[in-house]
Chain A
Amino acid sequence: MIHHLSLPVTDIKRSAAFYDAALGALGYKRTVNYREVVGWGSIDNGDIFSIRLRPKEKIMSGSGFHLAFIGRTRAAIDKFHRAALRHGGKDNGGSGLNPEYGPDYYAAFVFDPDGYRMEAVISPHSHK
């Protein structure tokens, strides 16, 4: 349903390093690489997720915004969580089963360097 998405970030190098590590853990790679725009996707598929440098952006605050990336295995979800914490992210709920969202809902929850709420989750799932 979501074809692609871009997010404003205040420090492109910091965020690009974070997403290289976190999305790399899920098997995605950097596919777009400009001074003010960096994007990730899969081979020959263009960018599905990108960040754009907006140094003065007022970051969407509160818990309304969150974005979940697709992981393939529980090991990849755990790796995403570890990579995020090592590359400028903060924990927002650990990595593991979240039965309140579904019996097999395995996900990791982090804040990115700007404070955006990010998740990696095995798809398909039941989510509310």
Chain B
Amino acid sequence: MHLLNHLSFAVADLARSAAFYDATLATLGYRRVCAADSFVGWGLVDDQDAFAIKLRPQGVTIPGDGFHVAFSAPSRQAVQEFYRAALQHGGRDNGGAGLHPEYGANYFAAFVFDPDGYRIEAVISIDLRQ
């Protein structure tokens, strides 16, 4: 049973952030499902965005380290591809890509900052032996 339906946050440069999320979220199997002058959204179904960015060019308050959002990855390879795509498209490293047993025996994740400085993550935490 999941809890979260959708999320949006503000970005300062829509084209820059859209390019970043097109590249990173594609590695996890998500695609752009809606777009307009002031927002772009990603998900699995047309017009049903699970994650969206909204242009707020007048200024964006970037949250501190209490904020982070993690996207579900389909495989460990996808997590690594997410990490590489993030660094190639305007993101910055925030902890590499790899196993984090401190969060769970099978917690494989990548941690980056997006172009605005939001803390984002890609994670898969299933037991691959199952």
Contacts and interface: CB of A to CB of B under 8 A. Distances in A.
Nearest to B30: A1
A8 B5 contact: no
Nearest to A9: B66
B64 A5 contact: no
Given A3-B123, A48-B3, A128-B47, A65 B66 contact: no
B66 A7 contact: yes
Interface residues of B, number: 41
Interface in A88-128: 119, 121, 123-128
Interface string B1-36: 111111111110000000000000000001000100
Given A3-B70, A127-B47, A57 B5 contact: no
Contacts of A5: 4, 7, 68-70
Given A7-B66, A54-B64, A128-B49, A65 B4 contact: no
B48 A2 contact: no
Contacts of B72: 1-3
A70 B5 contact: yes
A119 B9 CA distance: 14
A58 B6 CA distance: 23
12 contacts: A2-B50, A3-B72, A23-B3, A49-B4, A52-B66, A57-B66, A58-B61, A66-B7, A66-B8, A70-B4, A124-B48, A125-B5
Given A125-B48, A127-B48, A128-B49, A8 B7 contact: no
B68 A1 contact: no
Contacts of A51: 66
B113 interface: no
A77 to B, nearest CB: 11
Interface string B28-56: 00100010000001111101111100101
A59 B61 contact: yes
Given A65-B9, A124-B48, A8 B64 contact: yes
A80 B49 CA distance: 22
A1 B3 contact: no
B101 interface: no
Interface in A15-73: 23, 26-28, 40-42, 45-46, 48-49, 51-54, 57-70
